[in-house]
Amino acid sequence: MKTKEIKKLTQDQLFSELEKLKKEQFNIRFKKKNGQVTNTASIKVNRRTIATVKTFINLNRTK
């Protein structure tokens, strides 16, 4: 998900997106341990997207 797309989301949508990303991160890590992940860069991309979503959640709280 691109930053421009994340910026347009409401607070509730950001929280639901965060939950979805955390579940996805868990699944990717689980697959990595089992040797099923072929694209290890997806772990990094997912982690950074979570950080971006959290940043926008905190920015919206301060407004």
Neighbours of 63 (CB within 10 A): 4
Q: How many CB atoms lie within 10 A of CB 17?
A: 20
Per-residue pLDDT, 24? 96
Q: Say what the pLDDT of residue 61 is.
A: 87
| Domain span including residue 35 | 3-62
- The predicted structure's pLDDT at residue 38: 87
> What domain count does the chain have?
1
pLDDT digits (tens, 9 = 90+) for 7-63: 999 999 999 999 999 999 999 999 999 999 889 899 999 999 999 999 999 998 887
Q: How far is CA 53 from CA 4, 9, 25, 36, 50, in A?
A: 11, 10, 14, 27, 5
So what's the pLDDT on residue 63?
72
Q: How far apart are CA 55 and CA 47, in angstroms?
A: 12
pLDDT of residue 13: 97
What kind and span of H or E run contains 31? helix 11-34
> Residue 1 has what pLDDT?
81
Indicate which CATH number applies to the domain containing 45. Answer: 1.10.287
